[in-house]
A = this chain, B = another copy of it.
Amino acid sequence: MKPWHYFFAMRADDLALIRKLPLFVEMADTQFEHLTAAALLQRFPPHVLLIKEGEMPDFLHIVVDGSVELFATHEERETTIDIIHPLATFILAAVIRDEVYLKSARTLTDARILMLPAERVREVFGCDAAFARAVVNELAIRYRGMVRALKNEKLRNTAVRLANWILMSDQRQGGAGKVTLMCDKRTLASQLGMTPENLSRNFSLLGKHGIRNHGREIIIEDRTALMAFAQPSLLIDG
């Protein structure tokens, strides 16, 4: 019987891929080797808990493949904080500060995660200026992502959030006016901060604003109407 996870030694081609990440591309070879010598590249099935809020960081995680949900719980309630897509890190701030995780992480899909020992990340961060600068950039991007998320949450109602999510997704999928859901609707609802029931109602509400939805296909029939309803903003949606 197979174990539920699979370890991979870092192979040359994996290393080459990682090396090209903004986070590592500028750093010195010796530091990069120090960082990756004890690294793990690990494959996970969907819905696996990777880290738990409140624990101390052991590894800096990098999503190489698949997607990862960051979420938080408190008093029986749970909320999605962010979704991480390939070639981005998560829990970088906790690793740098060497403080407890503020959120948990679970895989949404099959995923490959690169894990760098937190201790070494901090060591290299302390002595490799190029790496330190790259970390700043990554953190600044994530910080701004959080600000956007907070604005999205506090300044828009659920229907408008959905409308903007559709516009963004369409853009990411090529702008053809046809969006295909990559997950089930209850997961989408959680990402958008609403209940599945409410998501369902919002889809039918958006029927009045240029959207037709059938199963996992969302079709933008009237982009002008949708835009008018969504009022997308560069200062929220990026």
Task: Using CB atoms and an 8 Å cutoff, list the residues of chain A in contact with chain B.
Answer: 53-54, 72-75, 77, 79, 81, 92-94, 96-97, 99-100, 102-103, 125-126, 129, 132-133, 135-137, 139-144, 146-151, 153-156, 193, 231, 233-236
Contact = CB atoms under 8 A, between A and B. Distances in A.
Given A77-B155, A132-B133, A231-B75, A143 B150 contact: no
A136 to B, nearest CB: 5
A232 to B, nearest CB: 11
This protein's copies in its complex: 2
A148 B93 CA distance: 13
A238 to B, nearest CB: 9
Contacts of A93: 139-140, 143-144, 147
B143 A74 contact: no
B151 A102 contact: yes
B153 A102 contact: no
A136 B81 contact: no
B153 A154 contact: yes
A102 B234 CA distance: 9
A76 to B, nearest CB: 10
A164 to B, nearest CB: 11
A28 to B, nearest CB: 12
B74 A147 contact: no
